[in-house]
């Protein structure tokens, strides 16, 4: 792949959007490679957590590639939107947590890709927003929906209608990002959190993610039934037995993902 770089550090996968000369703008090629990357990683039983970030020092992803969009027909625009939705869904449904490390601009499709991550840590230089209305269009990769679920409908309406960009402090205040980290320390901080997650029971973390995602938009009794099912299923795993045995023996568990 030329526009997406995938590296592994033990059980942690680091996925980097790699068009720094274009501020990691989301071309069809990049979206296709990002989809392929997460499809492959989702089949890798050795991955317990992933980090998604952008190459260079300025941008996570500054949005879609406007130069490539300017001549799009309605049919081409639909296909482009469907591709963006497919990629975001792939990230969202990965069987491991994905941490968005927003190291600069995350506008338009870039913000939408970040929203597909389980949570976001932002550099103190980060700026985020959905500026599509400035171009006479609207978010097309799930931004109207995931943003509303992340920050509430009122904030989402404000950001989508005005097209305004917000800095890291405001993004933290409204719940768009989970933490702000000094720019030079972002990579190290996100790796630290990813390593902490990777040290837990992988099957348990995966079930937490699945139930949190699946239960978000269903009635509470249905969501609670999902939790009961997943909780019981984990009692049939070797990791559950190892985790409880290690606790009683006052030692660190040796989880195997089985």
- 58 lies in the same domain as 155: yes
> What's the full length of the chain, in residues?
258
- 139 lies in the same domain as 244: no
Domain that holds residue 167: 4-198
- 131 lies in the same domain as 215: no
* pLDDT of amino acid 95: 97
* pLDDT of amino acid 67: 84
Structure pTM? 0.95
- 66 lies in the same domain as 183: yes
Which distant-in-sequence residues (6+ apart) come within 8 Å of 39 by Cβ?
90
CA distance 69 to 86: 18
Select which of 112, 170, 192, 249 is catalytic. 112
* Residue 242 annotated in active site: no
The answer as to whether 55 is a domain residue is yes
- 138 lies in the same domain as 231: no
- 233 lies in the same domain as 169: no
- Positions in the chain whose pLDDT score sits under 70: none
Q: What's CA 148's distance to the chain center, in Å?
A: 16
* Residue 82 annotated in active site: no
- 37 lies in the same domain as 150: yes
| Structural domain count, the chain | 2
The answer as to whether 256 is a domain residue is no
* pLDDT of amino acid 88: 98
Task: Locate 102 and state its tokens.
Answer: 């927003």
- 89 lies in the same domain as 185: yes
For 12-60, the pLDDT digits (tens) are: 999 999 999 999 999 999 999 999 999 999 999 999 999 999 999 999 9
The answer as to whether 139 is a domain residue is yes
Select which of 29, 132, 158, 249 is catalytic. 132
* pLDDT of amino acid 64: 84
The answer as to whether 129 is a domain residue is yes
């Amino acid at each position: 792949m030329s526009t997406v770089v995938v590296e592994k550090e033990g059980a942690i996968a680091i996925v980097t959007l790699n068009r720094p000369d274009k501020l990691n703008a989301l071309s069809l090629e990049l979206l296709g490679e990002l989809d392929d990357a997460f499809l492959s990683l989702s089949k890798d039983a050795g991955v317990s957590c992933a980090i998604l970030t952008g190459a260079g020092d300025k941008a996570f992803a500054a949005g879609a590639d406007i130069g490539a969009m300017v001549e799009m027909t309605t049919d081409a625009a639909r296909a482009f939107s469907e591709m963006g939705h497919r990629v975001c869904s792939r990230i969202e449904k990965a069987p491991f947590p994905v941490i968005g490390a927003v190291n600069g601009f995350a506008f338009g499709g870039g913000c939408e890709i970040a929203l597909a991550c389980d949570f976001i840590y932002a550099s103190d230089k980060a700026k985020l927003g959905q500026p599509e209305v400035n171009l006479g269009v609207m978010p097309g990769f799930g931004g109207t929906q995931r943003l509303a679920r992340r920050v509430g409908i009122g904030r989402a309406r404000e950001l989508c209608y005005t097209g305004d960009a917000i800095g890291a402090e405001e993004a933290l205040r409204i719940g768009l990002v989970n933490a702000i980290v000094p720019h030079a320390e972002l990579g190290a901080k996100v790796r630290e959190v990813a390593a902490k997650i990777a040290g837990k029971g992988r099957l348990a973390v995966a079930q937490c993610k699945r139930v949190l995602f699946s239960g978000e938009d269903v009635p509470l009794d249905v969501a609670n039934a999902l939790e009961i099912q997943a909780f019981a299923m984990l009692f049939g795993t070797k990791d559950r037995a190892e985790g409880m045995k290690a606790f009683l023996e006052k030692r660190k568990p040796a989880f195997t993902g089985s």
